């Protein structure tokens, strides 16, 4: 027990959430990967996913042992991630009309996931500096990063911008600048809407090939799916959302659901093990399971806020909030898509969905949060390892006194 406590340092609540999400992930990905088992060996999909989770655990252990001050190196790497993003756009693997994957030495990964982490850490570092140029510097780095990502992955770029925007509010950027930024965003959104409305679709498609996909997703979202309507017909356009709704209807109306392994829609729902895994969770575990998963992310964010509030230094304070925002915002986006609150975005459920790069980056975020909880505490509040060492020393002294008496 002492050996385990010495390895798993940091906030125990964060560790509990991490372990429980990994357990849920293994069960649900195994259940939802039925379509993959038809095309390959039976155990291969879950073995691959479990391997990534194991590597992710190693990353958490490594990063949580590193003092937060060294994480500024990640922020400096943002320029390198820009190069990867541009190279991926022109030479990466294209899936569904977008180039998001880069293959090096037989290993495929998404540079956008690396860029997200780099930008968040860089923003936290800049917010910690008392410099008048902070706002301009963060905005420039964000515009470049999100601009490159937006070409092939609009939802990720928008989500990342929202996270940085919230970090600037947390970092107490002046309300005047925040207001100007919001007005600029509204003007830009109106401009994009006007372009879509009045410019011929063929012209838009030639300039931005992904624009047609975005427009179709918004159209599908506006036409609400009602699987209970007797005249409703499932088409290629509403296929994903329709089967997600059916999955939720199968188990979401129950407290317990159909239980793990009994999903019906996993055989019909595309990306049941990734983008729409929350629909499968609702089908198999019902309202109770869906609420527990949502609650875990909410507790994670609250706990990260408590850890940040205890920090004396600004860099780890903003970094832990940025890491938590990245995990929780993506989780909420995934769940919102599954239940039909927002249009389809293609965001996986952090640490639960089957994935490679996304899983590893999420684990690094957990490692950063645990590192801050371990090393950054105000004076007068002892770290867990300090308390454990004192208890161990007191225990040894007690044993020595008893031996002397004997």
Question: Higher pLDDT residue, 47 or 108?
Answer: 47
Q: Is the pTM of this model over 0.75?
A: yes
Say what the pLDDT of residue 13 is: 93
Pair 263, 247: CB distance under 8 Å: yes
The pLDDT of residue 225 is 57
Higher model confidence: residue 39 or residue 87? 87
Lowest-pLDDT range, 1-5, 75-79, 185-189?
A: 1-5
What was the pLDDT predicted at 82? 93
Query: Who has greater pLDDT, 225 or 62?
Result: 62
Residue 194's pLDDT is 74
Mean pLDDT, residues 48-55 taken together: 92
CB 301 within 8 A of CB 127: no
More confident residue, 235 or 327: 327
pLDDT for 371 beyond 80: yes
- Span 40-47, average pLDDT: 75
Q: What is the pLDDT of residue 380?
A: 44
In angstroms, the CA 328 to CA 181 distance is 23
* 150 against 144, higher pLDDT: 144
Backbone phi, psi, residue 276, to 5°: -115, 30
Decide which of 92 and 298 is more confident. Answer: 298
Q: Using 50, 70 and 90 to split pLDDT, how confident is the model at 38?
A: low
Lowest mean pLDDT among 15-29, 129-143, 243-257: 243-257
In this predicted structure, the answer to whether residue 133 has a pLDDT above a threshold of 60 is: yes
| Span 53-71, average pLDDT | 94
Q: Is the pLDDT of residue 360 over 90?
A: yes
Q: What is the 3-state secondary structure (H, E, C) of the chain?
A: CHHHHHHCCCCHHHHHHHHHHHHHHHHHHHHHCHHHHCCCCCCHHHHHHHHHHHHHHHHHHHHHCCCHHHHHHHHHCHHHHHHHHHHHHHHCEEECCEEEEEEECCEEECHHHHHHHHHHHHHHHHHCCCCCCHHHHHHHHHHHHHHHHHHHCHHHHHHHHHHHHHHHHHCCCCHHHHHHHHHHHHHHHHHHHHHHHHCCHHHHHHHCCCHHHHHHHHHHHHCCCCCCCCCCCCCCCCHHHHHHHHHHHHHCCCCCCCCCCCCCHHHCCCCCCCCCHHHHHHHHHHHHHHHHHHHHHHHHHHHHHHHHHHCCCHHHHHHHHHHHHHHHHHHHHHHHHHCCCCCCCCCCCCCCCCCCHHHHHHHHHHHHHHHHHHHCCCCCCCCHHHHHHHHHHHHHHHHHHHHHHC
The residue with greater pLDDT, 192 or 208, is 192
Average pLDDT score over residue span 57-76? 93
The pLDDT of 356-382, averaged and rounded, is 84
Instruction: Give residue limits of the domains in the chain.
Output: 2-399
Between residues 74 and 232, the one the model is more confident about:
74
> 378-405: per-residue pLDDT in tens?
544 455 555 566 666 766 676 666 666 5
Mean pLDDT of the chain: 82
In the chain, the percentage of residues whose pLDDT exceeds 70 is: 76
The pLDDT value given to residue 318: 96
Query: How far apart (Å, rounded) are the C-alpha atoms in residues 305 and 317?
Result: 9
Which tops the pLDDT comparison, 199 or 132?
A: 132
Q: What is the pLDDT of residues 158-171, one digit of tens each?
A: 999 999 999 999 99
How large is the average pLDDT for residues 236-256?
A: 75
For position 224, what pLDDT does the model report?
A: 61
Average pLDDT of the residues in 75-95: 84
User: pLDDT > 90: what percent of the chain?
Assistant: 40
């Amino acid at each position: 027990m002492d050996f385990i406590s010495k390895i798993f340092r940091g906030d125990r609540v964060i560790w509990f959430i991490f372990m429980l999400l990994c357990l849920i992930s293994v069960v649900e990905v195994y259940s939802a990967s039925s379509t993959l088992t038809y095309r390959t060996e039976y155990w291969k999909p879950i073995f691959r996913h479990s391997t990534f989770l194991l590597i992710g655990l190693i990353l958490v252990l490594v990063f949580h042992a590193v003092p937060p001050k060294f994480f500024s190196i990640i922020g400096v790497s943002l320029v390198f991630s820009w190069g990867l993003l541009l190279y991926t756009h022109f030479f990466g693997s294209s899936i569904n009309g977008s180039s998001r994957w880069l293959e090096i030495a037989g290993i495929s990964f998404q540079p956008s996931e690396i860029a997200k982490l780099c930008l968040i850490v860089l923003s936290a570092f800049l917010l910690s500096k008392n410099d008048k140029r902070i706002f301009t510097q963060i905005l420039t780095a964000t515009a470049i990063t999100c601009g490159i990502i937006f070409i092939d992955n609009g939802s990720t770029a928008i989500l990342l911008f929202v996270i940085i925007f919230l970090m600037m509010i947390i970092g107490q950027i002046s309300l005047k600048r925040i207001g100007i930024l919001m007005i600029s965003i509204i003007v830009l959104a109106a401009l994009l809407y006007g372009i879509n409305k009045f410019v011929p679709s063929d012209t838009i498609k030639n300039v931005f090939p992904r624009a047609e996909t975005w427009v179709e997703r918004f159209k599908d979202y506006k036409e609400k799916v009602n699987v209970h309507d007797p005249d409703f017909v499932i088409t290629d356009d509403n296929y994903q959302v329709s089967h997600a709704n059916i999955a939720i209807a199968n188990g979401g109306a129950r407290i317990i659901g159909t239980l793990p392994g009994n999903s019906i829609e996993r055989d019909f729902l595309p990306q049941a093990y990734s983008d729409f895994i929350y629909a499968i969770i609702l089908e198999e575990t019902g309202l109770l399971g869906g609420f527990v998963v949502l609650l875990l992310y909410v507790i994670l964010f609250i706990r990260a806020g408590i850890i940040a509030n205890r920090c004396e230094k600004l860099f780890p304070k903003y970094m832990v909030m940025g890491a938590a925002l990245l995990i929780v915002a993506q989780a909420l986006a995934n769940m919102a898509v599954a239940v039909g609150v927002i249009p389809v975005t293609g965001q996986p459920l952090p640490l639960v969905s089957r994935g490679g790069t996304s899983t590893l980056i999420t684990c690094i975020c957990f490692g950063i949060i645990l590192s801050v909880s371990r090393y950054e505490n105000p004076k007068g509040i002892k770290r867990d390892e300090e308390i454990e060492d004192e208890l161990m020393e007191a225990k040894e002294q007690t044993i020595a006194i008893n031996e002397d008496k004997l």
